[in-house]
Structure 1
């Protein structure tokens, strides 16, 4: 990729052989500007990338929103995975100025998407970087948050390498919010300051995601998974939320666990401190935790700061199915919203209402299923009922519900009532095992519905 350098005083453009590799120092220096000055480069019709999760550059996002209103911009596309903090560019007052384009839906964009004022791209987390590398989405301006330059001029993308590395490799103009609170992490997230067109002083606390109090149901699901499905020496992938946290809290008696996960949170720190996570048997990065982005509290951010025990990598590597499959006893633990009696899994929506995204669920479900050692365990988990007491195991999916994980992908499904193993099971066997882990109040109705749908009784027999 060729990149223009700023115009010289003589008015003649200077050409420089530009490498898009962020590790490569260039013979140029960024301009230090205020946030308002830096984002003034954004113009109507541009595509803007925003760094996601805990790395969301809140000062730049706020300045961008105000610039869009002040300059009466039109049709600016804002692309990102889930972001933290307010997303005022999705407010009704910004309609026509900005339109959000989410690769994974965060709570701050959910209403705008469901109201038709923003967009959602269903895509595997592992393939988001391809959107930029293949020029399917051409980024004009990238807004990222980084740690301050070290003595060699290198910054770190810190808590979120994910698709941000690909974004800075392909963006025409890069603005960095330089924040001393951003941890410096090892791995793929290093970027030399010379790749920035503008830098902004951006001291600010990172958005924190504090764990909620877990219910008895969630703790029971965590116990079942930890005691029945996670082996010593397993390599773990887990998402965020109370069920993954419940699993982690129940693993204190395990040994030689490894972590290879697109994201992790505070619960992993507890296991490290307990001596349970050694990463001894991992194929890639043995002895080290491998991740791509983080969501958690300041305790987590301090844990990963300048810590060679943790390697943060491009999500196209972390979520690559052949890479995942080489890890020993790969155990993928993911949550879902609804499952029908044949094993179809809804994970990104509630009926027609978009809720989250495809994310890394299928990447890891498949990677664990085809593990090289034959000992991988793809696990999906959910409470048996909604907060209103409705069964989450259903005869038919809600109209508009999105099947993220197909019935052919599913191996283990866990509720507080037990574990259903569906791999190799026919439809009536699947119905039988799913009804067994449904809430007792709904089992009779599910059995009748299964007979009506399959024209035969659910049965454990082949």
Structure 2
């Protein structure tokens, strides 16, 4: 491809390309710049912009999960760039928790509203897309999520065009007339593979969660070792559906062998619905030009009123820690912002309203350092993502319990039984300190029932 200025009439669909340095030159001090996320993070464009740090000030970055070799926490950029994160990822934690970054607590489903209503207007959107087709349409590929609203509302759209970006069906098509500058850059997409990260604890949790999933259920599964293990236990299920904010490689075998066929969903029947994905090249090849996979706007995928319409929605989410009353912290370690609210509440609440729905918080009983994740009180400054009014099923390697309808004392007793044995004595003492040593169980034995793991 030859460099050149891109100018299109209404009928022209043949693009020309310019360099990344020339493309980002239109970005000015004080601009708010959206960065496409996950596997679609336009690393080449971001680095080109960062090289201009000496001539820029107060440029605000806005994004959710960014992936790739980008250094956002650089003292030399202190006066040039400010990172205002909508969901914190590994390469943004340092900057978000510093003086030149911040975090906006928000449900993933409502982020498009920030852009569309002008509460958080976007000056420039940096995106990564597939090459345009014969009609001039590129695809947002692996990540439509909040990028759809950013592209629709941004004053300027700069696109990194990568032939390795899969062309996905759904809401992600962008015509070249909408794009202000295009940069051709061929590069492999970032890959994440959780299949090799198997531990005994994860295997047990995966089996426990899978035991709650009935035939005909609609799944929300994320990325990680636990979701991957859950999916491995579903090979003998029938007529499952997929409506999830994100997914990875684990769903591929289930779709190929017909376990996930989406035949019983009320919405998007016959289609697997997601908003973004992150995995290996196998995943990117699988979704490329695959009409059975619909990649849609996060405002639709995570809308509780949409989620609840499908049958038996099983929402599988995790936590950093969980207190004895059922409060879930999933976004922070005390005051340290570790991730974000994301879509957990969108799907926990949506699943709870679905007919036969099963909202699940699944977590190992201890951290990698052996600290209990089930605690008497959340750490000082910790954020509550799922409230104790929304909590239902909790799963660890030690069992399963449904907290819905349980009193504070019943919840505490049930959760202590799910904790690691090394920490149960401490939790028992915390129970007595808070509620007294005498405990009278409810008349119905089901109220305190703990389902032990399947091994």
Range of TM-score over shorter length: over 0.9
How does 1:272-311 map onto structure 2 within 5 Å? 272-311=255-294
Query: Is 1:206 matched with 2:189?
Result: yes
Instruction: State the partner residue of 1:13.
Output: none
Contact 2:14–2:136 at 8 Å: present in 1 too?
no
How does 1:226-245 map onto structure 2 within 5 Å? 226-227=210-211, 229-245=212-228
Instruction: State the partner residue of 1:421.
Output: 402
Contact 1:78–1:98 at 8 Å: present in 2 too?
yes
Once residues 251 and 412 of structure 2 are traced to their aligned partners in structure 1, the CA distance between those partners, rounded to angstroms, is: 35
Distance 1:248 1:223, change over 3 A: same
How far is 1:451 from its partner? 1.6
Instruction: State the partner residue of 1:349.
Output: 332
How far is 1:301 from its partner? 0.4
> Alignment RMSD, CA only?
1.7
For residues 144-174 of structure 1, give each alpha carbon's deviation from its aligned partner in whole angstroms, at most 9, with x where no partner exists: 0111110111110000000001001110011
How does 1:25-36 map onto structure 2 within 5 Å? 32-36=17-21
How far is 1:207 from its partner? 1.1
Contact 1:332–1:378 at 8 Å: present in 2 too?
yes
How far is 1:345 from its partner? 0.5
Instruction: State the partner residue of 1:216.
Output: 200
Once residues 119 and 338 of structure 1 are traced to their aligned partners in structure 2, the CA distance between those partners, rounded to angstroms, is: 22
Instruction: State the partner residue of 1:20.
Output: none
Once residues 286 and 213 of structure 1 are traced to their aligned partners in structure 2, the CA distance between those partners, rounded to angstroms, is: 33
How does 1:359-370 map onto structure 2 within 5 Å? 359-370=342-353
Contact 2:272–2:293 at 8 Å: present in 1 too?
yes
How far is 1:116 from its partner? 2.9
Aligned match for 2:53, one of 52, 55, 68: 68
Distance 1:456 1:426, change over 3 A: farther
How far is 1:32 from its partner? 2.4
Once residues 68 and 456 of structure 1 are traced to their aligned partners in structure 2, the CA distance between those partners, rounded to angstroms, is: 62
Instruction: State the partner residue of 2:36.
Output: 51
How far is 1:87 from its partner? 2.6
Once residues 434 and 416 of structure 1 are traced to their aligned partners in structure 2, the CA distance between those partners, rounded to angstroms, is: 12
For residues 359-400 of structure 1, give each alpha carbon's deviation from its aligned partner in whole angstroms, at most 9, with x where no partner exists: 0000000000011x2x00000010011112111111111111
Contact 2:72–2:91 at 8 Å: present in 1 too?
no
TM-score for the superposition, normalised by structure 1? 0.92
For residues 252-296 of structure 1, give each alpha carbon's deviation from its aligned partner in whole angstroms, at most 9, with x where no partner exists: 111111100000000001212232111111111111100000011
- Of 398-407 and 441-450, the range deviating more from structure 2: 441-450
Distance 1:300 1:349, change over 3 A: same
How does 1:88-167 map onto structure 2 within 5 Å? 88-167=71-150
Distance 1:339 1:457, change over 3 A: farther
Instruction: State the partner residue of 2:392.
Output: 411
Aligned match for 1:436, one of 388, 399, 417: 417
Which consecutive residues of structure 2, in runs of 5 or more, have no partner in the other structure? Answer: 444-455
Instruction: State the partner residue of 1:21.
Output: none
Once residues 287 and 393 of structure 1 are traced to their aligned partners in structure 2, the CA distance between those partners, rounded to angstroms, is: 39
Aligned match for 1:455, one of 436, 440, 448: 436
Distance 1:427 1:461, change over 3 A: same
Contact 1:31–1:197 at 8 Å: present in 2 too?
no
Once residues 29 and 38 of structure 1 are traced to their aligned partners in structure 2, the CA distance between those partners, rounded to angstroms, is: 18
Which consecutive residues of structure 1, in runs of 5 or more, have no partner in the other structure? Answer: 1-5, 9-15, 17-24
Instruction: State the partner residue of 2:321.
Output: 338
How far is 1:89 from its partner? 3.6
Once residues 139 and 115 of structure 1 are traced to their aligned partners in structure 2, the CA distance between those partners, rounded to angstroms, is: 23
How far is 1:142 from its partner? 0.6
Aligned match for 2:161, one of 178, 184, 187: 178
TM-score for the superposition, normalised by structure 2? 0.93
Aligned length: 436
How far is 1:29 from its partner? 7.8
Give secondary structure in 1 for the equivalent of 2:48: helix
Aligned match for 2:357, one of 367, 376, 389: 376
Instruction: State the partner residue of 1:254.
Output: 237
How far is 1:454 from its partner? 2.2
